[in-house]
Structure 1
């Protein structure tokens, strides 16, 4: 069984799109493998829960305010249900229709790090977009780590100690511990997720923080002279 974990904190604007896209990915593997999804609602004060309930998706509610603990809560809940492979994404992201198919095609693996694409650049300048494209490597063997597109085996997760109670970079920390223990880590651009370019991220030093830093860095660059 595959388990899918989605942390959410006040994501009423995006959670429906996230879950509908995920359903397409589930439909693509439904003939030969069971998939269970859990949304872990952390300190939500908006209508995120109502949207999750309307789509009849399993959920947990907590007041942790710590993404590492939230992801771990969801992972361990699904492991108790019998999941042998866990796939993580985020509530402001949409997985590709072949997201789960690609993960299965990459087996055997202990952990798969996928790539993310930006859905809408309206919050960022063209110069910042260009700077991001220079930095980002959309290829096999890329080396990027995203909590919004990370999947792993039950055995590797438990042996590595799982997500720790970190408020940011919990994904990087987990991957580094798996690498240190010589687990088979695959860096794939075939496992794809589209995410938002919002700058008001739910995590202080997450992907939104990275984009904001890029934008600030671009604004501080000297302007080209026309003379």
Structure 2
């Protein structure tokens, strides 16, 4: 199978992420440049959705977008990551050229505290052309932010392999056609990524889990939303061997 890909939309929600945002955006820009070198025909647009930010996140996002074509910055008061992702997707799809139909557009999701690999968008494009309707990648906490013992504990519980069970909004992609047909992200305060992937699978779409897409995310123990990756790391630190299974 070799499906045509015309557009890629990257959506990045952010809530008070001044410490990490530029690292995220520079990583996305490197991935954009790598994709453009091999597939200049694919239009890439990046939507940064600033949700109820009170720090310098907006200033940094606007400064970056002013210097790098293909970025849009939106400010919203939602206080809800699912709604922020959905809004970014809706606005981004509307900004893509008419040639980028839902059937030829890929939505790539990450988080503002995450650095995606350089081949991120190329791997998504290859998976789509090979028949995948959605792809779930893996993440790794920045070990420089974690005690060595906690990092080892996390690694023992995390399956870094093909067909892994993990779903992270920080490293997730889906064909726009499938996304729209299953109803997109719901306005959930947490696990909106898991909900979307579950509905995509149940609708009969092909969801591929791969460790070829491996992103570096924050190792902080206090996150920006309840029940997120930071809360999992915090539980792992506090509960030791009795901590929950890896996300």
Q: Per-residue CA shift, 1:129-174, capped at 9, x if unaligned?
A: 2221121111111110000001001111111111111100110111
Note the 1:149-164 alignment, pairs <5 A.
149-164=171-186
* Aligned residues between the structures: 220
Q: TM-score, normalised by structure 2?
A: 0.85
1:146 and 2:161 correspond: no
Q: Equivalents in 1 of 2:152, 2:18: separation in Å? A: 30
Q: Aligned to 2:17, which of 11, 32, 35? A: 11
1:30-41 alignment runs, 5 A limit: 30=36, 31-41=40-50
Displacement of 1:63: 0.5
User: 1:128 & 1:15 partners in 2: Cα distance?
Assistant: 24
Matched with 2:79 is 65
Unpaired runs of at least 5, structure 1: 222-227
1:115 aligns with 2:138: yes
Structure 2: distance between partners of 1:60 and 1:26: 20
Contact kept in structure 2, 1:121 and 1:129, CA below 8 Å: no
The DSSP-based 3-state class of the residue aligned with 1:40 is strand
* TM-score, structure 1 normalization: 0.92
1:81 matched residue in structure 2:
95
**Counterparts of 1:200 and 1:161 in 2: how far apart (Å)?**
31
Q: Any conservation in 1 of the 2:14–2:48 contact (CA below 8 Å)?
A: yes
Cα displacement string for residues 77-116 of structure 1 (whole angstroms, at most 9, x for unaligned residues):
1121235110000000001010011111112211000011
Aligned residues of 1:85 and 1:152 also touching (Cα < 8 A) = yes
Q: 2:121 maps to what in 1?
A: 100
| Residues 18-57 of structure 1 mapped to structure 2, 5 A cutoff | 18-30=24-36, 31-56=40-65, 57=71
Q: Partners of 1:19 and 1:8 in 2: how far apart?
A: 11
> 1:28 & 1:127 partners in 2: Cα distance?
35
Q: 1:217 to 1:35 in 2, by over 3 A?
A: same
Moved over 4 A (4+): none
Question: Please, which moves more after superposition, 144-153 or 188-197?
Answer: 188-197
Counterpart residue number, 2:208: 186
Alpha-carbon RMSD across the aligned residues, in angstroms, is 1.5
Q: Retained in 2: the 8 A contact 1:127–1:218?
A: no
Please state whether the residue corresponding to 1:85 is helix, strand or coil: strand
Aligned mates of 2:95, 2:55 — CA distance in 1: 28
